[in-house]
């Protein structure tokens, strides 16, 4: 037993509000129902809640500035004055300018698109990509949020560590629109951070934390030089001017390429991830500075399972062979932003299940237990891990064992299938379609909620949805779309919907996790072996197909996405879990086909998400099981059945070949926010799958004009053979309003028609 009481630290705390107060307040603010002051009040309460919880748990290093109205990277851009002119020129209030950059603005003051958004490392959180151009001058901006929030915590009796996205990560993640690249901004960034550190030090901060997760990527020599240039300048001046201590915080992996540099820089504290950082311990053993404090990320900030104290303790013992126990701080592996607030919000799951969970607030207790080595807590934990949590389902294991290579290969090949399908579907050039969901209006949500609460019967629930489906199909026909969808009114969430109907998942009531802005997801938990015991979507799809002569797409979520957007098990491999889910969805695909559904879309929205951060790990750790899992789902269909897939936010330039190898017939993807850069990659790879790069951004309410869409399609056909191009929005429409959706889709169809006329 490790008996030295140690300090504890947290990298970041959830910030959406325990009951998603920030989401609801923000939505009211956008609708003009509450004032900015009221929104600010909610935000302050949320911050206070987190600080007080951490204080009560006895956390030694509590972060501030981990709050955000939308995203911390966007906050950093505003902090440093990196706000593109088109947003500043709208002449809005500071907060409204911020929201304009986050989700676009269309109103009396102008019409601008949002900044692009990207997945935050290997999480399902998205950050806003800062945009720097030749006129950008980085300098500390007027409203210094980290100082404001530091003071706010201090006034409430909580001494915090202001947490900042570090300059290296900020400049690495930014996009450069002019001739000036990252290097040109290094000096001004350093000055801004320096000034900020001084101000924080004056305000009373003892430590500041600079998050540099970009160090866990592959860091090449040029990047290494860049990192060194930034930090040698910053640290030297900082130690000369301000008395604040600097914690270099890394997470989401190990820093194998820069470890030697990091430990020789003179940081007062270094934060290292021992959970995802496969090589962290090995690196640590090469040495650690005598006077620095190690912030050891040992409690997993991403999973929801209880930590195994015995194992964590053994890890701490290994760590303390290198670093004196008095200089080891027990911390989270990353921000707790990626887990829900508390298990205490769950009333429905049995205590026997809940005892295996640790969300953010429970992880605070785990940190304290591990730091104190509390005997009773260790005993209780040992009892929890003494027996296997669940037993295997023999039939599922047998199906997996029986798989052969043929089960992963669809025949005939794509070229042959294309000819067969062209004869079956009478589609025009530039076929138009949508990604699946239509606006989830209040009445749609109310219908689902009423059914869930038992206020209406199943028949009433179905009848309402059928009416919605019929209306949605009539709308699509009147708009002139070629391939129809049913609208997904029965679904709350593309993963939760399937999880609830497949055996093996369990669900929480309130375990929400932020995805982008104030949007949250409530991931299912993979609890035991998975299988499908009854059809899921067949009745809805068959009903929808009866409403129209045009093909209606069956709409499913793929195994990799279901797994990536769930909390996976830790007792069997991800590959095994993906195959189990794939077999369940495969049953559904074959049932849809048997019931006359001719086009089936299998969404893999999150395929890229869990791609290892280091390229060298991509295939062996991930793609080698993820792509086959997708093929397993559809390899059994007839040649004439057209398989679509869809991906979002996918920067998949570098995995284009793997995407092609999924062997779908058509893929639609998010592109409008990433400036269609992917098109070059498709071109270079001679991409075979037909493609629908999204022609407008559905994450914003603005309506794209016909001209704008025509231009986008022109840019697409510059790079992609015209015969392969589909025309569609970039993602599902469920978060949009009905009016803007209809207007946008009309323009989309008009644009496709214009292109057909030109051809
Ligand atoms: N079919 C889903 C929808 O349209 C896809 C959502 C997604 O890609 N995130 O909502
Ligand atoms: Zn999408």
Each residue's pLDDT tens digit, 341-356: 999 999 999 999 999 9
Residue 4's pLDDT is what? Answer: 60
Per-residue pLDDT for 682 more than 80? yes
Give the whole-angstrom CA distance, residue 518 versus residue 23: 5
Give the whole-angstrom CA distance, residue 166 versus residue 144: 15
pLDDT tens digit sequence for 714-742: 999 999 999 999 999 999 999 999 999 99
Total tally of structural domains belonging to the chain: 2
Domain end point (choices 219, 249, 279): 249
Domain end point (choices 207, 228, 249): 249
Any ligand 1 atom below 6 A from CB of 646: yes
Q: What is the average per-residue pLDDT within 616-631?
A: 95
Question: Does 505 fall in a domain?
Answer: yes
Residue 142's pLDDT is what? Answer: 79
> Which has the closest alpha carbon to 310: 366, 351, 358, 262?
366
3-state secondary structure of 484: strand
Domain end point (choices 214, 249, 284): 249
Between strands 519-521 and 513-516, the pairing is antiparallel
Give the whole-angstrom CA distance, residue 449 versus residue 278: 43
Written as one string, the DSSP assignment of 620-666 is IIIIHHHHHHHHHHHTTS-TTSEEEEEESS---GGGHHHHHTT--SE
Give the whole-angstrom CA distance, residue 128 versus residue 517: 9
The protein residue with its alpha carbon nearest to ligand 1, atom 1, reads 436
Question: Does 582 fall in a domain?
Answer: yes
Question: Does 164 fall in a domain?
Answer: yes
pLDDT level of residue 678 (50, 70, 90 thresholds): confident
The protein residue with its alpha carbon nearest to ligand 1, atom 3, reads 732
Cα 219 to its chain centre, rounded Å, is: 23
Give the whole-angstrom CA distance, residue 554 versus residue 568: 26
Question: Does 718 fall in a domain?
Answer: yes
Give the whole-angstrom CA distance, residue 148 versus residue 129: 24
Per-residue pLDDT for 630 more than 70? yes
Any ligand 1 atom below 6 A from CB of 494: yes
Task: Choose one of 117, 119, 436 to mutate for the ligand 1 pocket test, by most ligand atoms within 8 angstroms of C-beta.
Answer: 436
End-to-end CA distance of the chain, in Å? Answer: 75
Residue 673's pLDDT is what? Answer: 60
Catalytic residue numbers read 699
Residue 755's pLDDT is what? Answer: 97
The enclosing H or E element of 245 equals strand 245-249
Closest ligand (CA of 519): 1
Residue list, CB under 5 A from ion ligand 2: 605, 648, 731
Q: What percent of the chain has pLDDT over 90?
A: 92
3-state secondary structure of 526: strand
| Distance in Å, CA 307 to ligand 1 centroid | 33
Q: What is the average per-residue pLDDT within 129-138?
A: 96
| DSSP 8-class letter at 375 | H
- Where helices occur in 272-393 by DSSP H, the ranges are 280-284, 309-320, 351-354, 360-372, 375-385
Q: What percent of the chain has pLDDT over 70?
A: 99
pLDDT tens digit sequence for 84-122: 999 999 999 999 999 999 999 999 999 999 999 988 998
Per-residue pLDDT for 449 more than 70? yes
Q: Is 681 left (phi over 0), alpha (psi -120 to 50) or beta?
A: alpha
Q: What is the average per-residue pLDDT within 583-602?
A: 98
| Distance in Å, CA 118 to ligand 2 centroid | 13
pLDDT level of residue 700 (50, 70, 90 thresholds): confident
| Residues 57, 60, 64, 66, CA torsion sign | negative
Cα 464 to its chain centre, rounded Å, is: 32
Count of H-run helices and E-run strands, the chain? 29, 23
> Which has the closest alpha carbon to 669: 645, 693, 699?
693
Give the whole-angstrom CA distance, residue 187 versus residue 164: 18
Task: Choose one of 585, 731, 735 to mutate for the ligand 1 pocket test, by most ligand atoms within 8 angstroms of C-beta.
Answer: 731
Task: Choose one of 437, 484, 600 to mutate for the ligand 1 pocket test, by most ligand atoms within 8 angstroms of C-beta.
Answer: 437
Rg (CA), the chain: 26
| Range with the poorest average pLDDT among 56-70, 506-520, 605-619 | 605-619
Give the whole-angstrom CA distance, residue 299 versus residue 322: 19
| Distance in Å, CA 603 to ligand 1 centroid | 7
| Distance in Å, CA 88 to ligand 2 centroid | 29
Q: What is the average per-residue pLDDT within 41-57?
A: 98
The protein residue with its alpha carbon nearest to ligand 1, atom 6, reads 732
Give the whole-angstrom CA distance, residue 756 versus residue 759: 5
Q: Is 100 left (phi over 0), alpha (psi -120 to 50) or beta?
A: alpha
Ligand 1 atom at shortest distance from the alpha carbon of 434: 4
* C-beta separation of 506 from 353 below 8 A: yes
Question: Which residues constitute the domain of residue 675?
Answer: 394-758
The protein residue with its alpha carbon nearest to ligand 1, atom 8, reads 605
Any ligand 1 atom below 6 A from CB of 605: yes
Closest ligand (CA of 604): 1
pLDDT tens digit sequence for 201-242: 999 999 999 999 999 999 999 999 999 999 999 999 988 887
Any ligand 1 atom below 6 A from CB of 736: no
Give the whole-angstrom CA distance, residue 540 versus residue 486: 8
Per-residue pLDDT for 458 more than 80? yes
Per-residue pLDDT for 400 more than 90? yes
Strand locations in 653-724 (E): 666-669, 690-693
How many degrees, rounded to 5, is the angle at CA 11 between CA 572 and CA 347? 60
Between strands 503-506 and 525-531, the pairing is antiparallel
Any ligand 1 atom below 6 A from CB of 644: no
The protein residue with its alpha carbon nearest to ligand 1, atom 9, reads 605
Residue 672's pLDDT is what? Answer: 65
Question: Does 332 fall in a domain?
Answer: no
- The mean pLDDT of the chain is 95
Residue 241's pLDDT is what? Answer: 81
Phi, psi of 175 (to 5 degrees): -110, 140
Between strands 666-669 and 642-647, the pairing is parallel
Two tokens, residue 654: 């570098």
Any ligand 1 atom below 6 A from CB of 555: yes
* C-beta separation of 101 from 115 below 8 A: yes
Phi, psi of 609 (to 5 degrees): -55, -40
Task: Choose one of 434, 488, 492, 494 to mutate for the ligand 1 pocket test, by most ligand atoms within 8 angstroms of C-beta.
Answer: 494
CA atoms within a 13 Å half-sphere pointing along the CA-CB vector of 726 = 27
Give the whole-angstrom CA distance, residue 580 versus residue 158: 47
Between strands 7-9 and 553-557, the pairing is unpaired
Question: Does 641 fall in a domain?
Answer: yes
Per-residue pLDDT for 3 more than 70? no
The protein residue with its alpha carbon nearest to ligand 1, atom 10, reads 732
Phi, psi of 271 (to 5 degrees): -100, 120
Question: Does 434 fall in a domain?
Answer: yes
Per-residue pLDDT for 625 more than 60? yes
The protein residue with its alpha carbon nearest to ligand 1, atom 4, reads 732
Residue 11's pLDDT is what? Answer: 98
Give the whole-angstrom CA distance, residue 48 versus residue 60: 16
> 13 or 243: which carries more pLDDT confidence?
13
* Cis peptide leading into residue 570 (ω within 30°): no
Q: Where residue 239 sits, what CATH number does that domain have?
A: 3.20.20.210
Helix 458-479 vs helix 538-546: crossing angle, to nearest 10: 50
The enclosing H or E element of 751 equals helix 738-758
Q: What is the average per-residue pLDDT within 413-435?
A: 97
Residue 239's pLDDT is what? Answer: 85
Any ligand 1 atom below 6 A from CB of 126: no
Per-residue pLDDT for 41 more than 70? yes
pLDDT level of residue 493 (50, 70, 90 thresholds): confident
Question: Does 11 fall in a domain?
Answer: no
For 679, residues 6+ apart whose C-beta sits below 8 A from its C-beta are 671, 693, 715, 716, 718, 719, 720
Closest ligand (CA of 557): 1
């Amino acid at each position: 037993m490790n008996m030295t009481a140690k300090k504890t630290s947290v990298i970041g705390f959830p910030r959406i509000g325990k009951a998603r107060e920030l989401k609801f307040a923000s939505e009211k603010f956008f609708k003009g129902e509450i004032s900015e002051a009221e929104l600010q009040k909610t935000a302050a309460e949320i911050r206070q809640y987190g600080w007080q919880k951490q204080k009560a748990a006895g956390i030694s290093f509590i972060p501030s500035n981990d709050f955000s109205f939308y995203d911390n990277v966007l906050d950093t851009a505003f902090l440093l004055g990196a706000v593109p002119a088109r947003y500043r020129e709208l002449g809005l209030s500071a907060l409204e300018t911020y929201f304009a950059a986050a989700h676009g603005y269309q109103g009396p003051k102008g019409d601008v698109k949002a900044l692009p958004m990207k997945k935050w490392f290997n999480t399902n959180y998205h950050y806003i990509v800062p945009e720097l151009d030749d006129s950008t001058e980085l300098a500390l901006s007027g409203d210094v949020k980290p100082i404001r929030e530091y003071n706010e915590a201090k006034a409430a009796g909580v001494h915090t560590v202001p947490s900042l996205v570090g300059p290296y990560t900020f400049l690495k993640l930014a996009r450069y629109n002019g001739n000036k690249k990252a290097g040109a901004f290094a000096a001004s960034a350093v000055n801004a951070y320096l000034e900020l550190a001084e101000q924080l030090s004056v305000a009373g901060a003892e430590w500041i934390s600079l998050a540099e997760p970009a160090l866990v990527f592959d860091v090449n020599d040029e990047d290494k030089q860049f990192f060194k240039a930034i930090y040698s300048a910053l640290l030297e001046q900082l130690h000369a001017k301000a008395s604040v201590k600097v914690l270099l915080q890394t997470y989401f992996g190990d820093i194998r390429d820069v470890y030697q540099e990091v430990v020789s820089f003179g940081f007062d504290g270094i934060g290292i991830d021992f959970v995802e950082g496969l090589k962290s311990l090995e690196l640590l053993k090469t040495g650690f500075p005598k006077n620095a404090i190690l912030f050891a990320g040992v409690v997993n900030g991403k999973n929801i399972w209880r930590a195994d104290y015995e194992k964590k303790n053994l890890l701490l013992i290994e760590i303390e062979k290198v670093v004196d126990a008095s200089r080891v701080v027990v911390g989270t592996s990353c921000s707790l932003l990626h887990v829900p607030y508390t298990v205490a919000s769950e009333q429905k799951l049995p205590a026997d299940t809940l005892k295996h969970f640790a969300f953010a607030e429970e992880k605070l207790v785990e940190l304290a237990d591990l730091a104190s080595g509390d005997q009773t807590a260790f005993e209780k934990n040992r009892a929890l891990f003494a027996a296997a949590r669940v037993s295997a389902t023999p039939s599922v294991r047998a199906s997996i064992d029986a798989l052969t290579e043929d089960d992963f290969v669809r025949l005939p090949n794509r070229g042959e299938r294309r000819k067969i399908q062209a004869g079956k579907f009478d589609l025009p050039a530039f076929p138009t379609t949508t990604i699946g969901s239509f606006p989830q209006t209040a009445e749609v949500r109310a219908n689902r909620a009423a059914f869930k609460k038992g206020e209406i019967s199943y028949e009433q629930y179905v009848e309402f949805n059928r009416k919605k489906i019929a209306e949605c199909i009539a709308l699509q026909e009147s708009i002139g779309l070629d391939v129809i969808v049913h609208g997904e009114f029965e679904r709350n969430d593309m993963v939760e919907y399937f999880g609830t109907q497949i055996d093996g998942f369990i669900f929480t009531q309130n375990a929400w996790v932020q995805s982008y802005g104030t949007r949250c997801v409530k991931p299912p938990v993979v609890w035991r072996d998975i299988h499908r015991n009854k059809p899921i979507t067949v009745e809805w799809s068959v009903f929808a197909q009866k409403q129209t002569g045009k093909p209606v797409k069956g709409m499913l979520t793929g195994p990799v996405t279901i797994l990536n957007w769930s909390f996976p098990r830790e007792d069997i491999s991800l590959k095994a879990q993906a195959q189990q889910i794939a077999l369940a969805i495969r049953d559904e695909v074959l049932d849809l086909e048997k019931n006359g559904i001719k086009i089936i879309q299998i969404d893999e929205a999150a395929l890229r998400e869990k791609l290892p951060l280091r390229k060298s790990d991509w295939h062996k750790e991930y793609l080698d099981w993820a792509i086959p899992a997708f093929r397993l789902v559809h390899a059994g269909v007839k040649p004439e059945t057209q398989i679509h897939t869809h991906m979002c936010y996918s920067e998949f330039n570098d995995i284009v070949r793997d995407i092609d190898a999924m062997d779908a017939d058509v893929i639609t993807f998010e592109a409008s926010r990433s400036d269609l850069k992917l098109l070059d990659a498709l071109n270079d790879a001679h991409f075979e799958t037909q493609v629908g790069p999204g022609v407008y951004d559905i994450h914003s309410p603005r309506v794209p004009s016909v001209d704008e869409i025509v231009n986008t399609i022109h840019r697409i056909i510059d790079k992609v053979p015209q015969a392969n191009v589909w025309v569609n929005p970039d993602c599902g429409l469920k978060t949009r309003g009905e009016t803007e959706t209809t207007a946008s889709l009309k323009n989309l169809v008009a644009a496709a028609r214009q292109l057909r006329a030109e051809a």
